[in-house]
Amino acid sequence: PRLANQIAAGEVVERPASVLKELVENAIDAGSSRIDIELEAGGSKLIRVRDNGGGIDHDDLGLALSRHATSKIGTLDDLEGVATLGFRGEALAAISAVARLELFSNTSEEHSDGWRAVAEGREMTPRVSPAPHPRGTTVTVRDLFFNTPARRKFQRTEKTEFGHAEEAFRRLALSHHAIDLTLRHNRKVVHQLAAGGDQLAMEKRIGRLLGRGFLDNALHVDVEAGGLHLWGWVGLPTHTRAQADQQYFFVNGRAIRDRLVAHAVRQAYRDVLFHGRHPVFVLYLELDTHSVDVNVHPTKHEVRFRDSRLVHDFLFSSLHRALADVRP
Ligand code: ADP
Ligand code: MG
């Protein structure tokens, strides 16, 4: 099982950014309204995620750290329509196989009697002891890849690793507007984002994460048809400050990379007039969870649409119409 966990770790844990993503997704799934993230040395020395969610019961702590143990999926039907970000039950096990993991948790709002569990590299069963903690969970991951020198060698500079981690943070922050989020690096606050669900609050958050320039010339889109809902912001071509890499697409709250989606957006842009321009966008697609399969790859960056033609045409026509309306 040790080896299996390390192999799984190879797929789930590529670098500090992947640890950040998995831990924050768990905090989101736990219903947190506030999540604080702390990194040291680009995350290779320390990654700490603190949340105020539901916590983990003492009796489930050991299970939470073992492979293929998830509390989120009960039946095959659940797997067909996954609503949580996690469901494979391998992230914590994979991380603890290649780092020193410490976890504090408490499920009670009434008292602060929580639990502490430690698991690192070689040992399979975590050591659990009582420890005070407010309702919620704090996971600390130290010395990533300390026991896998080959992986450690693939890590880049602190700056590069932090860049990837910040990008993972951006994607999570852009898809969970209702959560207070902070990101600290080497004890300095890099992002502090207040929760807010209305358009103004969302635009404020986007401005903070992507720069004011992104919104200065963006078009707000909101189209609903046949069970599909597309909304968000698309940068217009006069927008010279746009960076080519500002392309964010979320399906049911999950950041994804998808060729079909990229193609539909590019087509719409090209068709209208924005020739040679890189489309920039923050777009959200919502559809029935049974119409999309997220269990394609362990990192869940990829999805498979049940009716990909329909999704492609909906994206293309929605964006095409919206962009054509503002054609200068
Ligand atoms: P998954 O998210 O796919 O279920 P993980 O390995 O990421 O698998 O987590 C294992 C289990 O540990 C989760 O199913 C959940 O029950 C519990 N867990 C992990 N992190 C948290 C958290 N921050 N708050 C509450 N429960 C958590
Ligand atoms: Mg998870």
| Ligand 2 centroid distance, CA of 119 (Å) | 17
| Local structure of residue 60 (DSSP, 8 states) | G
| CATH of span 2-193 | 3.30.565.10
**Per-domain residue ranges of the chain:** 2-193, 211-325
> For 226-280, where are the E strands, in sequence order?
228-235, 247-251, 254-255
Please, which residues have CB within 8 angstroms of residue 68's CB and are 6 or more apart in sequence? 88, 89, 90, 93
Query: Residue 71: is its pLDDT beyond 80?
Result: no
Tell me, what's the pLDDT at 69?
63
Tell me, what's the pLDDT at 302?
77
pTM value is 0.91
Q: Do 126 and 61 form a contact (C-beta atoms < 8 A)?
A: yes
Q: Which two tokens stand for residue 117?
A: 């569990």
Q: Do 105 and 55 form a contact (C-beta atoms < 8 A)?
A: yes
Counting from 1 in the atom list of ligand 1, the atom nearest the Cα of 25 is 2
With residue 97 as reference, give the H or E element that holds it: helix 91-97
ipTM of the complex: 0.99
Q: How confident is the model at residue 76 (pLDDT cuts 50, 70, 90)?
A: low
Closest-lying ligand to the alpha carbon of 69? 1
Tell me, what's the pLDDT at 72?
64
Query: Residue 259: is its pLDDT beyond 60?
Result: yes
Residue keyed to tokens 């050991």 = 62
Give Cα 68 distance to the centre of its chain: 20
Residue keyed to tokens 């996971």 = 139
- Ramachandran class of 211: left when φ > 0, alpha when ψ lies in -120 to 50, beta otherwise: left
292 in helix, strand or coil?
strand
Q: Which of 152-166, 179-193, 232-246 has maximum average pLDDT?
A: 179-193
CA dist 254 and 142 (Å) reads 27
With residue 64 as reference, give the H or E element that holds it: helix 61-64
Q: Kindly report, residue by residue over 285-327, the tens digit of the pLDDT.
A: 999 988 888 766 766 677 888 898 999 999 999 999 988 887 6
Ligand 1: residue of 90, 92, 140 to mutate (most ligand atoms within 8 A of CB) is 92
| CATH of span 211-325 | 3.30.230.10
Tell me, what's the pLDDT at 8?
61
Q: How confident is the model at residue 119 (pLDDT cuts 50, 70, 90)?
A: confident
Beta bridge partners of 189: 184
Provide mean pLDDT across the span 31-38: 98
Closest-lying ligand to the alpha carbon of 21? 2
Mean model confidence pLDDT for the chain: 86
Tell me, what's the pLDDT at 59?
85
Nearest CA to ligand 1 atom 2: 86
